[in-house]
Amino acid sequence: MLGLKKKDKVIVLSGKDKGKKGEILKVIRQDGVPIKVVVSGVNIVTKHKKPTRNDPGGIIKKEAPLHVSKVMLICPSCDKPTRIKVSITEGGKFRVCKKCGQTII
């Protein structure tokens, strides 16, 4: 399934972080289909961590997963939020920007 991938630039469409842009750090899949993504600098939550022998613990801020439907890919060539079209050729499957028609690597 060619959808969102790690290191893709995305924009958040809804929620408390609407309009923020970031890079995908992790894609969580279920049955090969992406269902959640972790985006850098978006959906920051505080987590209380107990101290251990090696770690002092305390309050830690980290990114929480977002549902895939809340983010949209930003095309690297036209720099606009866009949907993805899958183009099948002899060379294989490629992701294509619906707005400018350029192949997304």
Quick: pLDDT tens for 38-72.
Answer: 999 999 999 999 999 999 999 999 999 999 999 99
Q: What's residue 3's pLDDT?
A: 85
Residue 41: partners with Cβ closer than 8 Å, 6 or more residues away: 20, 22, 63
Per-residue pLDDT band for 1 (boundaries 50, 70, 90) equals low
Quick: pLDDT tens for 9-30.
Answer: 999 999 999 999 999 999 999 9
| Residue boundaries of the structural domains of the chain | 1-74, 75-105
pTM higher than 0.75: yes
| CATH code for residues 1-74 | 2.30.30.30
Distance separating alpha carbons of residues 25 and 9, to the nearest angstrom: 10
